[in-house]
A and B are shown apart, each in its own frame.
Chain A
Amino acid sequence: MKIGLEIHVQLPTKSKMFCSCPTTEAPGPNTHVCPTCLGMPGSRPVLNRKVLEYGIMLAKLLGCRVNDTVWFSRKTYFYPDMSKSVQITQYDNPIGEGGVYYLNGKKPIRITRIHVEEDPGKTKRVGDLSSLVDYNRSGIPLAEIVTEPDISTPAEAREFLGQLIQDIRCVIDIPGDGERSIRCDCNISVGKERVEVKNVTGLKNVERALTYEVVRQTKVLKAGGKIDRETRRFDEERGVTISVRKKEFEADYGYIDEPDLGIYHIKEMAESIRIRESPQKMTARIAGQYGIDQKMAKQLVNTSVELAELFETVAGRHGTQNAVKWVAGPVSSNWKALETSGADVNGVMGIIDRFAAGEITDTECGIEIKCLMTGEDIESAKGAAGDLDKIVSDYLDQNPGIIDDYRKNEKAANKAIGFVMKNSGGSYSSAEVVEAVKRLIESRM
């Protein structure tokens, strides 16, 4: 089975792609419109610089080669919400080509291309069957990301989209409901012929539509039938795909150059644009660079990029061992508390520095970090922690086998955690207990 996706991402510009109409919520239908986005005779497009910048950022994020010179093309097709009956898009020489994305940091999904284009308006149906069109969305900039058919299952498609959106979000500011508002054209072939399911909205629906197609196409093939090359659409309510066009009736877009805009030399612009490392890439890099578990790296990055950065600083100063022990330990488990207390995370560095210099003990270091992050009183924490550490230590004294078991499988700690939770009468949070158990086991290893 082969699945390829064409993913449309709305770019967060303040004004539209080819005119200055605002992109914010409009007070009513057709209120954020002008001659250009209404396609009125005599109007002309003027390109928003920000659209090229965002396009370049996404191209870089996806490891694409950014073309030195780009231009736009006219894709001609007739539909009520397409005001000019022409969509200005990119055909040859798009912003980026030939990238690759590593799903879970491992599986390569090749990116064919990324280009920018304008969104059409929105059509709604009414009782008398005529349509009513709102052109407020007409001209909103989109990036279209096209993958090779490297995705193996519908679930993988969903996973890929989820990670992709998370990555995009740390480069550009896509709307909060990005996951629901993302629109995909899904290409899927179970046998030889490819079927396209157009305009599926949201991650969940992408998986549903593809799953439906897998079942449908498999059934047809098993019955000795042939899959038609065609375009289908997804009916969200009924969860089924419906044929809209056979191949021989496919629209002929007759692409030509867009002469109203000219060309763009974007080499310098591309060189001046730096993007932040994506979470997926950072996870893969940290795991490789410091020789830590992929799971731990992922937990650090997913908790916060800042936490992962702190991990790297500590590892740089005091070695990976200390970074794992402190940053992946108490700092990580108290991260939420830090976000509410608003304390300065840099203070942690000083505490770890003192530990590394032998000025404070293991236990003291743990308590100070916790107090710094939660704002708790050090003395009372010392008492409570002393109690907690004592309970754990007593348990480990009585069950020394746990240390060996833990070496083989970290889950061995669960026994100790369960015991302590039960016997401490709820005075400690599970994060605290987990931290203490792991720390004390590891100190005996």
Chain B
Amino acid sequence: MDRETVERVARTAHIKLTEEEIQRYGDDLTEILTYFELLDEAPESDERGINPVEIADVLRDDEPRMDIDSDVLLRGMDTYEGYVRGPRLS
């Protein structure tokens, strides 16, 4: 995996890499992906198989319900007047 790709992947994944890490992860991923070329020769299948066993048609009725008090959920969060604090948008 070339340097440019490592940087692009890291940017997409929101991981900041040091110079040393770019090199190291780049080498590791190259070695791993080379091994994964094995997949190219593997047989194909027409089945979608989102899960290993078929999970189908599990639905919930449209009934509002709240099990846990929102105060309890917000207890460990950095909040301000009930809002959850986050970083600036611009």
A pairs with B: yes
Q: Which residues of A contact B (CB under 8 A)?
A: 13-15, 20-24, 28-35, 38, 40, 46-50, 52, 71, 78, 80-81, 123-126, 129-135, 251-252, 254, 257-259, 261-265
Select which of B57, B62, B84 is within 8 A of A48 by beta carbon: B62
Interface string of B45-79 (1 = CB under 8 A from A): 00010110011111111111111101001100001
Question: Judging by beta carbons under 8 Å apart, are A130 and B86 in contact?
Answer: yes
Task: Name 15 extra pairs, CB < 8 A, besides A20-B66, A34-B66.
Answer: A20-B67, A24-B64, A30-B74, A46-B60, A47-B58, A49-B60, A49-B61, A50-B62, A80-B86, A124-B83, A131-B86, A257-B48, A258-B50, A263-B54, A263-B56
For B76, the closest partner residue in chain A by CB is: A40
For A122, the closest partner residue in chain B by CB is: B83
Select which of A49, A81, A254 is within 8 A of B59 by beta carbon: A49
Chain A residues with CB under 8 A of B56: 262-265
The residue in B14, B59, B73 that gathers the most chain A C-beta atoms within 10 A of its C-beta is: B59
A254 to B11, CA, bound (A): 13
Main secondary structure of the interface of B (DSSP, over half): loop
Closest CB of chain B to A445's CB: distance in Å?
A: 56
Question: Is the CB of B43 closer than 8 A to any CB of chain A?
Answer: no
Closest CB of chain B to A72's CB: distance in Å?
A: 9
Question: Judging by beta carbons under 8 Å apart, are B83 and A46 in contact?
Answer: no
Question: Is the CB of B88 closer than 8 A to any CB of chain A?
Answer: yes
A180 to B48, CA, bound (A): 40
Tally inter-chain residue pairs, CB-CB below 8 A.
125
Chain B residues with CB under 8 A of A23: 64
Select which of B48, B64, B83, B88 is within 8 A of A29 by beta carbon: B83
A47 to B60, CA, bound (A): 6
Closest CB of chain A to B63's CB: distance in Å?
A: 6
A30 to B73, CA, bound (A): 9
Question: Is the CB of B12 closer than 8 A to any CB of chain A?
Answer: yes
Cross-chain pairs A/B with CB under 8 angstroms, 15 sampled: A15-B64, A30-B82, A35-B73, A48-B60, A49-B62, A50-B62, A125-B89, A131-B87, A133-B83, A135-B84, A251-B12, A257-B50, A262-B58, A263-B57, A264-B59
Closest CB of chain B to A208's CB: distance in Å?
A: 22
Question: Is the CB of B81 closer than 8 A to any CB of chain A?
Answer: yes
Question: Judging by beta carbons under 8 Å apart, are B64 and A21 in contact?
Answer: yes
A50 to B63, CA, bound (A): 10
A202 to B17, CA, bound (A): 42
Select which of A33, A125, A133 is within 8 A of B70 by beta carbon: A33
Chain A residues with CB under 8 A of B68: 34-35
Question: Is the CB of B80 closer than 8 A to any CB of chain A?
Answer: yes
For A51, the closest partner residue in chain B by CB is: B62
Chain B residues with CB under 8 A of A251: 12
Select which of B51, B62, B74, B84 is within 8 A of A15 by beta carbon: B62
**When A and B form their complex, which 9 residue pairs have the shortest distance between CB atoms, in order from nearest?**
A262-B55, A80-B86, A132-B83, A22-B64, A50-B62, A20-B65, A49-B59, A29-B82, A129-B88
Question: Judging by beta carbons under 8 Å apart, are A20 and B60 in contact?
Answer: yes
Question: Is the CB of B16 closer than 8 A to any CB of chain A?
Answer: no
Chain B residues with CB under 8 A of A35: 68, 73
For B53, the closest partner residue in chain A by CB is: A262
The residue in A20, A24, A126, A265 that gathers the most chain B C-beta atoms within 10 A of its C-beta is: A20
Question: Judging by beta carbons under 8 Å apart, are A48 and B51 in contact?
Answer: no
Question: Judging by beta carbons under 8 Å apart, are A14 and B62 in contact?
Answer: yes
Question: Judging by beta carbons under 8 Å apart, are A52 and B59 in contact?
Answer: yes
Select which of B50, B63, B82 is within 8 A of A28 by beta carbon: B82
Question: Judging by beta carbons under 8 Å apart, are B66 and A22 in contact?
Answer: yes
For B71, the closest partner residue in chain A by CB is: A31
Question: Judging by beta carbons under 8 Å apart, are B51 and A259 in contact?
Answer: yes
Question: Judging by beta carbons under 8 Å apart, are B84 and A132 in contact?
Answer: yes
For B86, the closest partner residue in chain A by CB is: A80
Question: Judging by beta carbons under 8 Å apart, are A20 and B63 in contact?
Answer: yes
For A81, the closest partner residue in chain B by CB is: B86
A46 to B48, CA, bound (A): 21
Closest CB of chain B to A88's CB: distance in Å?
A: 13
Question: Judging by beta carbons under 8 Å apart, are B65 and A15 in contact?
Answer: yes
Given A28-B82, A132-B80, are A264 and B57 also a contact pair (CB < 8 Å)? yes
Given A259-B50, A261-B58, A263-B54, are A123 and B63 also a contact pair (CB < 8 Å)? no
Select which of B50, B67, B84 is within 8 A of A262 by beta carbon: B50
Select which of B63, B82, B88 is within 8 A of A31 by beta carbon: B82
The residue in B56, B64, B85 that gathers the most chain A C-beta atoms within 10 A of its C-beta is: B64
Given A23-B64, A263-B56, A265-B56, are A134 and B70 also a contact pair (CB < 8 Å)? no
Closest CB of chain B to A133's CB: distance in Å?
A: 5
Interface string of B20-32 (1 = CB under 8 A from A): 0000000000000
Select which of B59, B61, B83 is within 8 A of A30 by beta carbon: B83
